[in-house]
Structure 1
Amino acid sequence: MGIALDDLVAIDVHTHAEVSRDGRGSLSPELLAASAGYFKAHDHRQPTIPEIAAHYRERRMAAVVFTVDAEHATGHPRLSNEEIAEDCAEHPDVLIPFASIDPWRGKAGVREARRLATEHGVRGFKFHPSLQGFAPNDRMAYPLYEAIEELGVSALFHTGQTGIGAGVPGGGGIRLRYSNPMLVDDVTVDFPELRVILAHPSFPWQDEALAVATHKPHVHIDLSGWSPKYFPPQLVRYTNTLLKDKVLFGSDYPVLTPDRWLADFAKLDIDPQVRPRVLKDNAARLLGLTTEGDPR
């Protein structure tokens, strides 16, 4: 059984696996608390992957699920990509596994990426340059991008400010400048067939993100991490026009729920013909989903 695309109301391309089967968190307690405070999610809990599946199945949605591997910069052990992919495979009607590999892992990370895509059905890889402590255009990461491009799956980059480390002295050591979309633009030049998702409204670089997405044919933007009522006007304008086929629904669950996001999106001045593209159609095409849920 795969994803019954015609039965879905939406595909959320940005949700987080934050806890392992044995209860270990994806972030240190300090960084997790900072993120919860930033999003005012003080009752924030970390759902298991079966709970994520139930949450989205109840809403007739599918969800992309990933963790963030930032072990080199933070010293915090990552969650297992294999475990996440295996757990998502138990819920193929609603969950789509992505993985995260710290670029600092070098050749071992490249081998892991190939294995995850070919043996575990992973359809994309999440990067968080600020948290992982690298500039996206650092040649150190290029062998990993090369593998992802060859595999034909997506690379999703966090862009803009992050709630992780917010309010912690020195931001927890997290450098915001690594998440400027213009650094990803260099990557799209050097890997022209790489499918890229710029995650979030990219404050304070929203115009840069729009420029990259309009200029480079394989670059998309997901709208996660912000309530739509706070979207910059130019983001709404481009969503309705030049980027109507390249903007994707994402929530950032569990810190922002799909219910909250969709309720605010319904009030946004979005062309009725564009709305289903953002909520489902663009993601289905990017991820290679058919009506049966199988890769093309």
Structure 2
Amino acid sequence: MNLDDLVAIDVHTHAEVSKDGHSSLSPDLLNKSADYFKAHGHRQPTIDEMAAYYQERKMAAVVFTVDAEHATGHPRIANEEIAESCAAHPGTLIPFASVDPHRGKAGVREARRLVEQHKVKGFKFHPSIQGFAPDDRLAYPLYAAIEELGAVALFHTGQTGIGANVRGGGGIRLKYSNPMLVDDVAVDFPDLRIILAHPSFPWQDEALAVATHKEHVHIDLSGWSPKYFPPQLVRYANSLLQDKVLFGSDYPVITPDRWLADFAKLELKDAVREKILKLNAARLLFGEETE
């Protein structure tokens, strides 16, 4: 990956549909999510289409799905398919995987295989949808494998639009996405590189506390237009956390075009902007490979 040629690295995009048309969410959750995000009519791009979109903008993007089959009963998009599709677009798409902690030892074996054979760089967790607390020992063998493999663990934090206005929230419990629950993970796995995804409403201060206190905890800015960012998040991004905050869009629900247009209006130091847009992500994901 030639960092000089990139405008930005988007660390948070979703593979919403498989090659055979299988959706990452059940129809009910998908439709209600579209209501919440006012996203009716947006297409579910294929991974090849995502690659073309980001290549046109001279950006790279992390791509993942969410494996929540245990809690929702809805089969996931295969991690291998996502990894192989990303591999067809090197320098543009960066494969992450998602393994439900409820898969136990089989999930740990899968995680190892995905990193060692498919070059997966990280793993997406959505505790609310997957139905587990991040500090539940259920997930610890999986974290241990991810830490050992040198991969990244990305946790959804804060409220989610998935399940909004579905009866009983679709069984999705918001409490599992309090970023303070990741603090124990950062203590018990001190070398695990962690991303807290999204401005963490209503727990923004908790996310800032964990990220400033724990060495390898980062924050991505996906899922919100920057014009709605809490002021304390902007202040910390421009100062104490300038080396640990990452650009993420939540594409295709939020496009990088919209996100970047609003980001340009934030009062940030020029050097901080470049860190957020690509330098911090390059160091986190590739380390010495970017030198």
Shorter chain as denominator, the TM-score bin is over 0.9
- Select 2:19's aligned residue among 13, 18, 21: 21
- Name the aligned partner's letter for residue 13 of structure 2: T
Listed one character per residue, the Cα deviations across residues 242-291 of structure 1 (whole Å, up to 9, x for unaligned) are 0000000000000000000000000111111100000000000000156x
1:151 and 1:93 map into 2 onto residues whose CA distance is 21
- Select 1:116's aligned residue among 114, 117, 120: 114
Contact 1:223 1:247 in 2 (8 A): yes
1:141 and 1:295 map into 2 onto residues whose CA distance is 31
Match of 2:252 in 1: 254
- Percent of paired sites with the same residue: 79
1:5 and 1:106 map into 2 onto residues whose CA distance is 37
Match of 1:200 in 2: 198
Match of 1:160 in 2: 158
Contact 1:196 1:218 in 2 (8 A): yes
**2:23 alignment partner, SS class:** coil
Listed one character per residue, the Cα deviations across residues 83-123 of structure 1 (whole Å, up to 9, x for unaligned) are 10000000012000000000000000000000000100000
Match of 1:87 in 2: 85
Q: CA deviation at 1:295?
A: 7.7
- Name the aligned partner's letter for residue 256 of structure 2: P
Q: CA deviation at 1:38?
A: 1.2
Match of 2:32 in 1: 34
- Name the aligned partner's letter for residue 11 of structure 2: V
1:236 and 1:186 map into 2 onto residues whose CA distance is 25
Match of 2:60 in 1: 62
**1:288 alignment partner, SS class:** helix
Contact 2:283 2:290 in 1 (8 A): no
Q: Write out aligned runs for 1:121-200 (5 A).
A: 121-200=119-198
Match of 1:211 in 2: 209
2:233 and 2:191 map into 1 onto residues whose CA distance is 25
- Name the aligned partner's letter for residue 234 of structure 1: Q
1:295 and 1:244 map into 2 onto residues whose CA distance is 19
- Name the aligned partner's letter for residue 97 of structure 2: A
Match of 2:71 in 1: 73
Listed one character per residue, the Cα deviations across residues 192-214 of structure 1 (whole Å, up to 9, x for unaligned) are 00000000000000000000000
- Name the aligned partner's letter for residue 261 of structure 1: W
Match of 1:225 in 2: 223
Q: CA deviation at 1:154?
A: 0.3
- Name the aligned partner's letter for residue 206 of structure 1: Q
2:287 and 2:241 map into 1 onto residues whose CA distance is 20
- Name the aligned partner's letter for residue 60 of structure 2: A
**2:164 alignment partner, SS class:** coil
Q: How many residues matched?
A: 291
- Name the aligned partner's letter for residue 131 of structure 2: G
Match of 2:241 in 1: 243
**1:22 alignment partner, SS class:** coil
1:35 and 1:187 map into 2 onto residues whose CA distance is 29
2:59 and 2:278 map into 1 onto residues whose CA distance is 9
Q: CA deviation at 1:33?
A: 1.1
Where in structure 2 are there 5+ consecutive unaligned residues? none
Q: Which stretch shifts more, 114-123 or 29-38? A: 29-38
Listed one character per residue, the Cα deviations across residues 46-78 of structure 1 (whole Å, up to 9, x for unaligned) are 100000000000000000000000000000001
Superposed CA RMSD: 1.0
1:93 and 1:234 map into 2 onto residues whose CA distance is 34
TM-score (norm 2): 0.99
Q: CA deviation at 1:4?
A: 1.9
4+ residue segments displaced more than 3 Å: none
Q: CA deviation at 1:44?
A: 1.8
Change (3 A) 1:240 1:203: same
2:51 and 2:287 map into 1 onto residues whose CA distance is 18
1:214 and 1:171 map into 2 onto residues whose CA distance is 32
- Name the aligned partner's letter for residue 27 of structure 1: L
Q: CA deviation at 1:239?
A: 0.3
Contact 1:5 1:289 in 2 (8 A): no
